[in-house]
């Protein structure tokens, strides 16, 4: 069911600072910072040959990553995102398997303008999983 690894997300307190680490220290191609208010994050994508790194900073009052950044002030891997051919079919299958789909369960538009949803870390080896419609 899951396809390619679309991105690995790293949550940090300061995404501009983190971008510099990837741009100058690691010599990667770093995109511009953009606010995705409906998801409560400021995001920078780092393009890699085979996937992307999504650098995330909490944005706004109730950012879903605020608690994570508070617990991990130096930053840390927040989630992995896999592509799926049909996100509704994937969601329904996962729910039938007893997996917890976060939020109200309906896919929302993510940073790439594609439908995404999130699966509870406790059901996936302690890792927050994001699915994105390929
Ligand atoms: C712009 C969109 C972009 C994109 O790619 O398109 C994004 O990816 S936006 C990313 C930000 N949005 C989200 O993360 C939405 C889904 N996340 C959530 O709903 C919450 O973060 C949630 C439910 C995963 C965690 O909620 P909270 O931070 O309030 O922590 P809790 O105390 O409720 O956590 C319960 C339990 O889970 C563990 N936990 C929390 N976050 C993670 C994580 N990132 N990875 C692994 N485990 C996590 C936490 O430690 C608690 O475990 P416990 O053993 O009970 O202490
Ligand atoms: Co993501």
Q: Tell me the mean pLDDT in the region 16-42.
A: 97
Domain residues for the domain of 41 are 5-133
Q: Nearest residue CA, atom 31 of ligand 1?
A: 67
pLDDT of residue 55: 98
Q: What are 100-131's pLDDT values in tens digits?
A: 999 999 999 999 999 999 999 999 999 999 99
| Distance in Å, CA 48 to ligand 1 centroid | 24
Distance of alpha carbon 96 from alpha carbon 80, whole angstroms: 22
Tokens of 107: 């896919």
Which residues is 101 bridged to in the sheet?
Answer: 119
Of 37, 40, 64, best ligand 1 pocket probe by most atoms within 8 Å of the beta carbon: 64
pLDDT of residue 134: 95
Tokens of 98: 């007893």
| ipTM exceeding 0.95, yes/no | yes
What CATH number is attached to the domain comprising 81? 3.10.180.10
Closest CA to 116 of 106, 124, 126, 125: 106
Q: What are 53-87's pLDDT values in tens digits?
A: 999 999 999 999 999 999 999 999 999 999 999 99
Distance of alpha carbon 105 from alpha carbon 70, whole angstroms: 26
Phi, psi dihedral angles at 63 (to 5 degrees) = -65, 135
Number of domains in the chain: 1
Indicate the pLDDT class of residue 99, thresholds 50, 70 and 90.
Answer: very high
Contacts of 52 (CB under 8 A, 6+ apart): 6, 7, 8, 45, 46
Q: What are 31-43's pLDDT values in tens digits?
A: 999 999 999 999 9
Of 40, 67, 129, best ligand 1 pocket probe by most atoms within 8 Å of the beta carbon: 67
pLDDT of residue 111: 93
């Amino acid at each position: 069911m899951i396809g390619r690894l679309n991105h690995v997300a790293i949550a940090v307190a300061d995404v501009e600072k983190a971008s510099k680490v990837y741009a100058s220290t690691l010599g990667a191609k770093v995109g511009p910072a953009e606010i995705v208010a409906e998801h409560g994050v400021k995001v920078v994508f780092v393009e890699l040959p085979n996937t992307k790194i999504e650098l995330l900073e909490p944005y706004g009052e109730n950012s879903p990553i605020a608690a994570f950044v508070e617990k991990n002030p130096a930053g840390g891997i927040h989630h992995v995102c896999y592509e799926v051919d049909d996100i509704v079919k994937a969601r329904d299958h996962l729910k039938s398997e007893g997996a917890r789909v976060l939020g109200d369960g309906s896919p929302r538009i993510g940073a790439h303008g594609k439908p995404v949803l999130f699966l509870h870390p406790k059901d996936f080896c302690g890792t927050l999983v994001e699915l994105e419609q390929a």
